[in-house]
Structure 1
């Protein structure tokens, strides 16, 4: 019960942040699971199972509040599904920690870029749909490898490119439902084929259940919160969050924090 309650709180806080800023559910939940000694592939699989449920509720909220850029949605989701399946295949056979320093370096640069944009005049622009497919491919791959990375990669890039933060967040969160479902299916296929031992997912049922229930409670408020926060403040918050998460994980890699 203690494990369930702990991850209930983690799931609720992570989804509240993710729904409002378009990122961090996977990163936060995955970081906590790893801190409890869960193997990387098992942690990523657990987070993606939970995100199917929380992502559905969050997506419904954003659709209801009309936070979606539909021309970007479909190529973004298609690229994300392809990249996510590829990332799951790689993670079940290769140590994902090898590329983590490169991911963190990218996020630090993107976070600094977003923070710089928050100080400039806000002129909303939309990324050409032809570029959203490759962006989704990269985001999906990083998400599967790290148990979280779709939002930090895709949302930060869209916001950094000048997209309206509210609609960028809504689009990314809604596409994430399809990406997460594909990644979860890829982990299941790897488990059934014998490529991956699975890491005893059933041993972490209480943690997964807590993440799901906590996230489901927080998810319905995502669209409303995002709709009410001014664009400049939302952009600044996205930048601070990216830099903070990347810096913390960098300190973890350096062995300076647990």
Structure 2
């Protein structure tokens, strides 16, 4: 019962993060399942089955708040589904001994990317309004879908920053569109896993609990995306993913690091993580202060112009 409650909380928090940041539900949930010893393919299959429900709920919530560009959903979702099916088939044919470290490496790489991306750069906002072309979204969806299925997560970490980096779509619409299109990816990956490993290796009670937690969080996240600082959240999630997957790799048969080496690694990561969070908070406050000053200066200029014209 304690494990199910923990999974429910993980599903809630993961969807809260995913729905407000556009990434990390799969990465966070799969990381936990691997940490408790779940088979790599089964962990990814469990998360993707739960995501069918959570992405549907998240998509509906984002649609109600006007956070979705349906052209982007169509152009990236279908290639994403193809990539996810291929990735699920690939992962299903790997041995457990190989699959677990491989998945941890993918998750670790995504965690590093998330941490650096949001700590150092925040969210780009240039080029708003310019169209996102099919020749960009199609290959992006294919790669993101494949990484998502093989890594148990990756649709958001690959897709969201790539579209944000283009600066052509408002951040809230990027997040809403990525979350909505992930519904297609989750279905395609689940079909691939059912064909590859069957249903006997999937714990459906875990699927249900992850799903319940995610569905509860989905509407809250869709509202929070308008208010929460993505830079700080990205730094927090990236550090957590890095710490957890380094732990998995250091304890794997590939490395089997001594206890003192593990301790030094954890402390080093924790210090760097704290520094990244502190930097993100400082930069967020600095940018907010600059925006406030600019708004005041704009209001003063308008007042002076109105006074002069009068």
Query: Please, what TM-score do these two structures have when normalized by structure 1?
Result: 0.84
Given that 2:103 and 2:152 are in contact with CA atoms closer than 8 Å, whether structure 1 keeps it comes out as: no
1:157-206: CA deviations, max 9, x gaps? 2223324221110010000011101111111122xxxxx365632xx233
Matches within 5 A, 1:104-253: 104-105=108-109, 108-109=112-113, 111-118=115-122, 122-125=125-128, 127-162=132-167, 163-190=169-196, 196=197, 200-201=201-202, 204-229=203-228, 233-234=229-230, 236-237=231-232, 239-241=234-236, 243-245=238-240, 247-249=242-244, 251-252=246-247, 253=249
Q: Distance in 2 between matches of 1:72 and 1:105?
A: 26
Q: Secondary structure at the match of 1:66?
A: coil
Superposition deviation, residue 19 in structure 1: 0.9
Matches within 5 A, 1:51-130: 51-94=51-94, 95-96=98-99, 97-98=101-102, 101=105, 104-105=108-109, 108-109=112-113, 111-118=115-122, 122-125=125-128, 127-130=132-135
Given that 1:51 and 1:180 are in contact with CA atoms closer than 8 Å, whether structure 2 keeps it comes out as: yes
Q: Distance in 2 between matches of 1:4 and 1:106?
A: 26
Q: Distance in 2 between matches of 1:217 and 1:16?
A: 9
Given that 1:156 and 1:239 are in contact with CA atoms closer than 8 Å, whether structure 2 keeps it comes out as: no
Superposition deviation, residue 86 in structure 1: 0.5
Q: Distance in 1 between matches of 2:104 and 2:2?
A: 31
Q: Distance in 2 between matches of 1:216 and 1:29?
A: 14
1:105-156: CA deviations, max 9, x gaps? 4663465344443387x32535433201111111110110011111111112
Q: Alignment length, in residue pairs?
A: 246
Q: 1:9 to 1:159 in 2, by over 3 A?
A: same
- Structure 2 residues not aligned, in runs of 5+: 252-261, 267-310
Match of 1:47 in 2: 47
Larger radius of gyration: 2
Q: Distance in 2 between matches of 1:44 and 1:119?
A: 28
Q: Supply the RMSD in Å over aligned alpha carbons.
A: 2.5
- Structure 1 residues not aligned, in runs of 5+: 191-195
Higher relative contact order (CA 8 A, sep 6+): 1
Query: Please, what TM-score do these two structures have when normalized by structure 2?
Result: 0.71
Superposition deviation, residue 35 in structure 1: 1.5
Q: 1:106 to 1:48 in 2, by over 3 A?
A: closer
Given that 1:51 and 1:212 are in contact with CA atoms closer than 8 Å, whether structure 2 keeps it comes out as: yes
Match of 1:26 in 2: 26
Q: 1:139 to 1:61 in 2, by over 3 A?
A: same
